Amino acid sequence: IDISKVCNQEQDCRDWSDEPLKECHVNECLVNNGGCSHICKDLVIGYECDCAAGFELIDRKTCGGKEPSLIFTNRRDIRKIGLERKEYIQLVEQLRNTVALDADIAAQKLFWADLSQKAIFSASIDDKVGRHVKMIDNVYNPAAIAVDWVYKTIYWTDAASKTISVATLDGTKRKFLFNSDLREPASIAVDPLSGFVYWSDWGEPAKIEKAGMNGFDRRPLVTADIQWPNGITLDLIKSRLYWLDSKLHMLSSVDLNG
């Protein structure tokens, strides 16, 4: 029967199973959150547990998720540290001048730009240390890269040619997204779920801009209280953009409408 007929004090089932006296009009979530570790949802009969964004149910009541980790480069190699167990390992070694880094977590792949070799490389996170593939050549001064993990493309800023480019992750299809009105393009981030790309420009005047990932609908996002914006990152759960300002020595944040 339809859920609207359950617990409406009318007999719809011969055995009255649609009107269980002990379960109708009882909110199990009021006592100890129903035993749920995160969110308790009261149903007409019974209840169910749910999790905050970024977590999933391990059993019917307990939320969890894979251990979060920080992946970073010190120019010579790429390293990873677990944020709970503090395990510290080397992912890629014997690099020359790695200046930009991103990952496709679902595919377990790393991507980085090398200033000395003027190219973008990739490697599997669980590969043998040192095995990596050159994907994209002739990247003159790569300031930052951003991987679109949904549509499997990569975006990068080039401070020498003053451009923002996009290519498929295998490097086959490649084009300029923007090659005008860029002075000193720096950091870049993508939100493929909404279809937007964000980047910072150190030029005069400094700013953070936003556009569709297809290159349309370009517009400024932040133009005030900004000098040398760098290190853009997105919190897609809370719909906010964060950046560091190397001149003002500030960590700032703005919503995705500016």
**Quick check: is 104 in a domain?**
yes
pLDDT tens digit string along 170-220?
Answer: 888 999 999 999 999 999 999 999 999 999 999 999 999 999 999 999 999
Same domain, 109 and 23: no
Q: CATH code at 138?
A: 2.120.10.30
* pLDDT score at 36: 95
Q: Which residue has better confidence, 172 or 128?
A: 172
Q: How large is the average pLDDT for residues 220-226? A: 96
pTM of the model: 0.78
Q: CATH code at 49?
A: 2.10.25.10
CA distances from 244 to 184, 197, 228, 233, 250 (A): 16, 18, 8, 9, 6
Q: How large is the average pLDDT for residues 86-90? A: 91
**Quick check: is 74 in a domain?**
no
* pLDDT score at 128: 56
Q: How large is the average pLDDT for residues 48-76? A: 89
Residue 115's domain comprises 97-255
* pLDDT score at 171: 86
**Quick check: is 73 in a domain?**
no
Q: Which of 231, 253, 257, 240 is nearest to 157 (CA)?
A: 231
**Quick check: is 80 in a domain?**
no
Q: Which of 64, 157, 48 is nearest to 102 (CA)?
A: 157
% residues pLDDT > 70 (the chain): 98
Same domain, 159 and 49: no
Structurally, the chain folds into a number of domains equal to 2
CA distances from 23 to 1, 4, 49, 135, 221 (A): 17, 15, 17, 60, 52
Residue 129 has pLDDT above 60, yes or no: no
How many CA atoms are closer than 13 Å to the CA of 148, on its beta-carbon side?
25
Same domain, 60 and 114: no
In whole angstroms, what is the distance from residue 196 CA to residue 237 CA?
A: 15
The token pair at 231 is: 């290190």
- Chain mean pLDDT for the chain: 92
Residue 28 has pLDDT above 60, yes or no: yes
Same domain, 183 and 57: no
* pLDDT score at 127: 57
Same domain, 58 and 150: no
Q: Which region among 16-20, 98-102, 234-238, 254-258 has the lowest average model confidence (pLDDT)?
A: 16-20
Same domain, 49 and 120: no
Same domain, 45 and 154: no
* pLDDT score at 68: 84
Per-residue confidence band for 67, with pLDDT thresholds at 50, 70 and 90: confident
- In one-letter notation, the amino acid at residue 176 is F
Q: What angle do CA 211, 212, 214 make, to 5 degrees?
A: 125
Same domain, 123 and 59: no
Same domain, 60 and 103: no
Q: How large is the average pLDDT for residues 62-91? A: 89
Residue 130 has pLDDT above 70, yes or no: no
Per-residue confidence band for 144, with pLDDT thresholds at 50, 70 and 90: very high
Question: What are the backbone dihedrals phi and psi of residue 91, each rounded to the nearest 5 degrees, phi first?
Answer: -100, -45
Residue 165 has pLDDT above 90, yes or no: yes
Last residue of a domain, one of 44, 64, 84: 64
Same domain, 105 and 199: yes
Same domain, 228 and 103: yes
Residue 52 has pLDDT above 90, yes or no: no
End-to-end CA distance of the chain: 49
